[in-house]
């Protein structure tokens, strides 16, 4: 096995991510939660599924951070989930306190790890993790754009009735209503969707992508998405552990890139063993840059509320 991955939070997203990591035999997995018995039960259930999946990964459920010692990657899903009518912003203060406490434990037991925050509001929580950990920006990489792009890819494939494997989608900005899907950089078999779909259909896809999380929350009635977010985490963990140098949209701390400084915003990065090893900058048209700036302003407002 290639080291250990710890998932903090055994709710739907955390458990889905943990099982995906174990199923793909990427690493041994530690699933941690403050709820007594819940991570232990889910972890044991996952471990017992591994023989069926053909995976020799070990899965341990625990309430003790000592069991996470020496993790190569730590995924933080702990926190409160959105409820119907609740915006990501509503979660800000409550989840910030949770994330601060979790980050302190992660630093104590896995000081060399790469942290993947997943808790919402994502971009602001990345800022909390970065500040509390003192880690270099390369080692705090938020899961947002992989999920948002996957949603857009699904909608593109459905509109064109093509394989999702042919689709690539490009989404920048904060993980919320102000995210910036970029149709001219989104392709099907290398062909920009602007040449394959009419503007009304593209606009509908962009709008649905930005509201993808809220759409699922509304449909479920209670809870929020977890299958796609869990799979997005697994893709990021695999890119890091296998040093794939894969270009993925992630929330990273920008220091002048795209004209944004001291703020976590979703952009394409080269993800490998060192974490976010390179930020990929592309040329944006005036309207696209304005939309990205607006998205960054929304993130900055959240961060400001936290006093950062």
Q: Which residues are tagged catalytic?
A: 175
Alpha-carbon gap, residue 239 to 26, rounded angstroms:
10
Strand 59-62 versus strand 73-76 pairing type: unpaired
What 3-state DSSP class applies to 262? Answer: strand
Give, for 270, the enclosing helix (H) or strand (E): strand 261-272
DSSP code, position 81: P
Whether 143 and 171 have beta carbons less than 8 Å apart is answered as no
User: Cβ neighbours of residue 220 under 8 Å, at least 6 residues apart?
Assistant: none
Burial 163-184 (b: 16+ CB within 10 A, else e): eeeebbbbbbbbbbebbbbbbe
Residue 221, classified by CB atoms within 10 Å of its CB into exposed (0-12), middle (13-18) or buried (19+), is: exposed
Which tokens hold the place of 236? 């990021």
Alpha-carbon gap, residue 7 to 18, rounded angstroms:
6
């Amino acid at each position: 096995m290639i080291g250990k991955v710890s998932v903090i939070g055994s709710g739907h997203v955390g458990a889905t991510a943990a099982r995906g990591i174990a199923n793909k035999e990427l690493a041994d997995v530690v699933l941690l939660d403050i709820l007594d018995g819940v991570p232990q039960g889910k972890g044991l259930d996952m471990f017992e599924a591994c023989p069926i999946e053909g995976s020799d990964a070990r899965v341990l459920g625990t309430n003790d951070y000592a069991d996470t010692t020496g993790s190569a990657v730590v995924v933080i899903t702990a926190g409160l989930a959105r409820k119907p009518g609740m915006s990501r912003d509503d979660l800000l203060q409550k989840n910030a306190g949770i994330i601060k406490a979790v980050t302190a434990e992660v630093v104590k037991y896995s000081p060399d790890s790469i942290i993947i925050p997943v808790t919402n509001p994502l971009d602001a929580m990345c800022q909390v993790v970065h500040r509390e950990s003192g880690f270099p920006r390369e080692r705090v990489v938020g899961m947002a754009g992989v999920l948002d792009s996957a949603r857009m890819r699904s909608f593109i494939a459905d509109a064109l009735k093509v394989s999702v494997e042919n689709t690539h989608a490009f989404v920048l900005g904060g993980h919320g209503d102000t995210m910036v899907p970029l149709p001219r950089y989104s392709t099907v078999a290398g062909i920009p969707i602007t040449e394959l779909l009419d503007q009304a259909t593209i606009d509908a896809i962009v709008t649905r992508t930005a509201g993808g999380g809220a759409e699922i929350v509304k449909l479920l009635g209670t809870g929020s998405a977890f299958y796609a977010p869990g799979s997005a985490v697994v893709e990021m963990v695999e890119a890091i552990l296998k040093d794939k140098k894969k270009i993925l949209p992630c929330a990273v701390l920008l220091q002048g890139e795209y004209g944004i400084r001291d703020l976590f915003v979703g952009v394409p990065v080269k993800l490998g063993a060192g974490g976010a090893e390179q930020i990929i900058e592309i040329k944006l048209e005036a309207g696209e840059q304005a939309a990205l700036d607006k998205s960054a302003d929304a993130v900055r407002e959240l961060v400001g509320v936290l006093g950062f």
